[in-house]
Amino acid sequence: MASMLNAPPNCISVKPQKPTLLAGTATSRGLGATRSINLKQRLPSPAMMMIPKMSISALPLDNPTKSNNKFDIPIMVNGCNGKMGKAIISAAESAGLDVVPVSFGSAQESGQAIQVGTKEILVHGPSERESILESLLVKYPNLIVVDFTVPSAVNDNAELYCRVGVPFVMGTTGRDRDQLYKTVEDSKIYAVISPQMGKQVFAFLATMEIMAEQFPGAFFGYSLQVMESHQASKLDTSGTAKAVISCFQKLGVSFDMDQIQLIRDPQKQLEMVGVPEEHLSGHAFHMYHLTSPDQTVSFQFQHNVCGRSIYAEGTVDFVIFLAKKVHSKADKRIYDMRDVLREGNMR
């Protein structure tokens, strides 16, 4: 399995792999008939294999491209004390954006000065958020807020941004997705909301959605096995995996979400999945394997992400995209990754 799922260091590549099969073995997950994934058994030679693979090592570029925007883009990163927040600040500085030295956090974090790269950022608690944000918007009229806080805070934060009238980019959808979208739509402000900030991963997902829409039932009768590996701190199933599976279901595949093989044990991630040890604390390895009813045709889709820079870079593209929409006085509405990809002006 390591040979198939292992992501080469410092690369973005698409390349074929040797044919492999997910052998059926018993597992306690799901309904008992679920098979676990074992990538060491070879697929019989008569089978036809199609293996799109995307391996992304999220390492910083040696010579990051500076932003060539014709106007300043000050950004405020809320949740700056988290790993994702720190990665976004680093990517924003590399792109030439102006990270303001203020952030919102929990009541426990209030008053802390967080050193991130070259920036010392003062964290403010919930009680003073509105007055702080209003004063920042006066000082930085082009301000854009980036929100990577905890899901439980997302809806309240969105209401705050809408009241103050500050454009924002949000990387989670919170506990009440419908209320979040209604709040932003009713406020008529500029916003980008997307739970998936990885541009290439989102493009793969969007492609799957197009295929499911245009070719419903194309994989009727095929069996599906899904494995997803994330850092141990991620307790829930990947939303991206669920979205991809939804596409396969529309393509005619019968599959229950309980059949997803979740791997959170670091030892298994090292030995079975092939996650580099330095990325055990931050990775996303997904594999989807389809097999025809007679076992003679197999399709395999896989994307491996090490680290967080793919999401940080996508967030910076979002910020630049939204800043241009504000600057050009485009429609005030909720944008998503599709809008960014269709515009095609990413760095």
Degrees to nearest 5, angle at CA 228 with 28 and 270 = 90
Residue showing tokens 């990387």? 171
Report the alpha-carbon distance of residue 144 to residue 115 in Å, rounded. Answer: 21
Report the alpha-carbon distance of residue 78 to residue 174 in Å, rounded. Answer: 15
- The count of C-alpha atoms lying within 13 angstroms of the C-alpha of 95, restricted to the half-sphere facing its C-beta, is 26
Tokens of 9: 């260091």
In one-letter notation, the amino acid at residue 251 is L
Dihedral sign (CA 274, 280, 284, 289): positive
**Do 165 and 133 meet the contact criterion of CB atoms below 8 Å apart?**
no
Report the alpha-carbon distance of residue 146 to residue 119 in Å, rounded. Answer: 16
Report the alpha-carbon distance of residue 125 to residue 148 in Å, rounded. Answer: 15
- The count of C-alpha atoms lying within 13 angstroms of the C-alpha of 325, restricted to the half-sphere facing its C-beta, is 24
Which residues have CB under 8 Å from 193's CB, separation 6+? Answer: 169, 170, 173, 180, 181, 184, 334, 336
Report the alpha-carbon distance of residue 329 to residue 232 in Å, rounded. Answer: 43
Q: Which residues are catalytic?
A: 230, 234
Kindly calculate the radius of gyration of the chain based on its CA atoms and give it in whole angstroms.
22
Write the DSSP assignment of 105-154 as a string of letters.
--TTTTT-EEEETTEEEEEE-GGGHHHHHHHHHHH-TT-EEEE---HHHH
Distances from the Cα of 105 to the Cα of 114, 121, 153, 197, angstroms: 11, 11, 10, 21
